[in-house]
Amino acid sequence: MTRELQAVLFDLDGTVCDTEPSWMAAEFAMAKRYGAEWTPADGLALVGNDLIVSGTYIKERMGLTQSVDDVVEELLAGVMAAVAERGPAWRPGALELLAACNDAEVPTALVTMSYTNFATALLDKMPRGHFDAIVTGDQVSHGKPAPDPYLLAAELLGVDATLCIAIEDSPTGAASAEAAGCLVVVVPNHVEVSSDGRRHQVASLAKLQVEDLRMLLEQDVRV
């Protein structure tokens, strides 16, 4: 049976845009503000996480007294300020692949654990391409690595998640997409991602074409 590509689902942070340095800068700024210890390893441990999970980690690691929601709000404000100062660093080939999907009339969705205010502010700066649906961390009860974000994206697009390709850069995101039944294209960035399961590693999105994605899905053998 032919497996026809129904949609391409993109992660945001580290995949479409390299925001991870801004997240880490905001985390270090919080640690300095509260006189707490924080290391690069702490920052890398949060890559791809649900923000509530990250907020809980930060609260415990820094010994903060405010609520997790307040920690997340403060962190997001810091990240948004850092991105505004640095400007968005679009990852090589990401916007080109998105635009190519648009041109080929392949539905697309953004699936991110960032909250709506941050994702929207970043997407407003995109010079090309558009998403047909957007799923953010504040829209789901269970974030990555649970399958919920990707299942919701497939539902919003009216497609079968098992006939979608997800593009991710983190172990947490890849696990979420896989759990939803998606085939995963991994473009590693700041953290290593294993090639276990239905994952295809690519060094960059720069030369990836829509036809390459179609072929990957057609050749995929599900266990």
User: What is the third-level CATH fold of 20-86?
Assistant: DNA polymerase; domain 1 (1.10.150)
For the chain, domain boundaries: 7-18+89-219, 20-86
How do residues 95-151 score in pLDDT, each as one tens digit? Answer: 999 999 999 999 999 999 989 988 998 899 998 889 999 999 999 999 999 999 999
- The pLDDT averaged over each successive group of 10 residues in the chain (223 residues) is 88 91 90 94 84 92 95 92 87 96 98 92 89 96 95 98 95 94 90 77 92 91 47
The answer to whether 63 and 176 have CB atoms below 8 angstroms apart is no
- Which candidate in 13, 50, 148, 169 is catalytic? 13
Superfamily of domain covering 7-18+89-219:
HAD superfamily/HAD-like (3.40.50.1000)
Q: Is 70 a catalytic residue?
A: no
Q: Which residues are bridge partners to 141 per DSSP?
A: none
- Which candidate in 11, 18, 50, 148 is catalytic? 11
- Between CA 47 and CA 57 the distance in angstroms is 12
Q: Is 13 a catalytic residue?
A: yes
